Amino acid sequence: MKRILKVSLLLAVILTAMGAHADEIDFALFVKNEIGQGKKVSFAFNQVKKVELSLYDSNEKMIHTETVSSKESINRTYDLNQLPEGTYYLEAETALKVARYKIRVVNDVAILSKKAISEVYKPVLVKKEGAVSVTIQNPENTAVSVIIYDGENNEVYNADLTGTNVTKTFDISRVSNEDYTFVMNYGNKTFVETVVSR
């Protein structure tokens, strides 16, 4: 009986911890392949509260963009009947990452890839006690360019970093009330964040 109680208590603690981190769960796109759908693509995101969806052509021209919010799951169907044959890209951006999926339009059919062709995790900046820590998940181990500008747009730091988990801490305590702009380039994406040292 005590063993069952201990296991139940442990399970309750684990489930509570998982619930506390539910907003940090990585997202996945689920493709709904329906017979006779034609030039329509249907997909869903589970465990995502907000996602920005963008559709690009093969020349990287944005065709459509929208921001979708939901308390549970997000379901979408895009009708691509007006598009000519070719390759298109669906980009999904959340607070955690940017993922890109390939769409092929051939004859009277549109096919959405089930697996992302690229995923780029967004940088995490944490300001604490006069320091800013930058953490970047970089599973592809691509070069990460970090440039920092002060409030007058003077470059104060510039380096290329590598690794699958890039972490760097910067001391910004020497100058108060100064804005620092962090520009991070990696995975064909640019992320810009501004931090104030106060």
30-70 pLDDT, tens digit each = 566 555 567 888 888 877 888 999 999 999 999 999 999 98
Residue 19 pLDDT more than 60? no
Q: What are phi and psi of 7, to 5 degrees?
A: -65, -40
Round to whole Å and give the CA distance between 72 and 82: 31
Segment (H or E) for 81: none
Identify the residue with better confidence: 78 or 13: 78
State the pLDDT at residue 3: 45
Using pLDDT thresholds of 50, 70 and 90, give the confidence band for residue 150.
Answer: confident
Residue 12 pLDDT more than 70? no
Do 123-197 and 22-119 fall under one CATH topology?
A: yes
Residue 21 pLDDT more than 60? no
Identify the residue with better confidence: 91 or 28: 91
CATH number of 123-197: 2.60.40.10
Selecting from 3.40.50.1820, 3.90.230.10, 3.40.50.1360, 2.60.40.1930, what CATH number does the domain 22-119 have?
2.60.40.1930
Closest C-alpha among 124, 154, 121, 156 to residue 138: 121
Average pLDDT over residues 130-143: 91
Residue 88 pLDDT more than 60? yes
Domain map (residue ranges) of the chain? 22-119, 123-197
Residue 108 pLDDT more than 80? yes
Residue 177 pLDDT more than 80? no
Round to whole Å and give the CA distance between 17 and 100: 30
State the pLDDT at residue 122: 93
Closest C-alpha among 181, 183, 146, 180 to residue 163: 146
State the chain's mean pLDDT as an integer. 81
State the pLDDT at residue 185: 94
Q: What are phi and psi of 9, to 5 degrees?
A: -65, -45
